[in-house]
Chain A
Amino acid sequence: DAKTTQPPSMDCAEGRAANLPCNHSTISGNEYVYWYRQIHSQGPQYIIHGLKNNETNEMASLIITEDRKSSTLILPHATLRDTAVYYCIVRVPYNFNKFYFGSGTKLNVKP
């Protein structure tokens, strides 16, 4: 599975959009991009995933560049409860081996 690079931390004002970047320059054609988050020491929570088209669900939007070497997770109206560590993961769906989380981005949403 391709490795990812994320900034260690980011700040965002409450009510504003939070844009979390992820670099995955070595991604291969059959690898998907997944985003999870972990609030404090709770179990990680799935947010969204995609292959090459932009995706949106009730939690967030995922924007993947045309060359697929990077992506951005967008939380449209961040709240204090969105303060968490966000993990970008790139992997092949059928590859159950080694689900690699990396160190993620700590998002601090401030009042």
Chain B
Amino acid sequence: DTGVSQDPRHKITKRGQNVTFRCDPISEHNRLYWYRQTLGQGPEFLTYFQNEAQLEKSRLLSDRFSAERPKGSFSTLEIQRTEQGDSAMYLCASSDRDRPYEQYFGPGTRLTVT
């Protein structure tokens, strides 16, 4: 039983560049969540999918952020025109339909914007 996987694990980019992260959930899980965590804070919700439908987006998710889950399996999170304030750990979590709030996190992608 493989857990949630994320790629890449680390990303260093220059301000203004675009970056894309990938998340593969636990295979039988139909819900997929994206969170962002900065140092000393708890994870903050960004958006979530049920199957391929994006059902909620946080106001933290500015127009520069977009997420997709085209076939209801893996998901991508893209950040356009990165800013230094985007530096954070981006966490993906998944859950199954019967216990949607028991969320299991992947290892995260640490983004550093220079």
Chain A bound to chain B = no
Interface positions of A (Cβ within 8 A of B): none
A-binding residues in B (CB < 8 A)? none
